[in-house]
Amino acid sequence: MVTAVAEDDALWAAVADPTRRRVLDALLERGEATTTILAEGLPVTRQAVAKHLAVLNRVGLVAGQRRGREVRYAVRPERLDDASEAMARVAAQWDRRLARIKRLAESVQAEAESISNPTRRVQ
């Protein structure tokens, strides 16, 4: 099951990479392009470009369309959303991280208490 949290993390991981951002840049400039065309303008192999496109495709940032023997990729601008949401995203991300920290810490605490009751503190 893909949760909203996992999906957002995946989106994040997808754009955190400089090569993938360059792939996005190149696609935005050209409108659409094949893996081969993209590889010509980037200092990476065609195979690497294909892998990066697969990551971007998985999170919905790009979409491929088959034209005969080749697949042409384009950015899906709707996925990029409104720039003004960036800070809200950062806040939401920290909320999720804090929620995970809380879960982890509380399970560590509960475990420690069940082992060495009544001592509350663990090392």
Phi, then psi, of 81 in degrees rounded to 5: 60, -170
Task: Give the SS3 label for residue 39.
Answer: helix
**Residues forming the site for other proteins (CB under 8 A):** 10-18, 21, 24-25, 27-32, 48, 51-52, 55, 58, 74-77, 80-83, 85-87, 89-91, 93-95, 97-102, 104-106, 108-109, 112, 120-123
- Rounded to the nearest whole angstrom, what is the least distance from the CB of residue 22 to other proteins in the complex? 9
CA distance 86 to 56: 19
- Rounded to the nearest whole angstrom, what is the least distance from the CB of residue 95 to other proteins in the complex? 6
- Rounded to the nearest whole angstrom, what is the least distance from the CB of residue 68 to other proteins in the complex? 19
Phi, then psi, of 61 in degrees rounded to 5: -80, -25
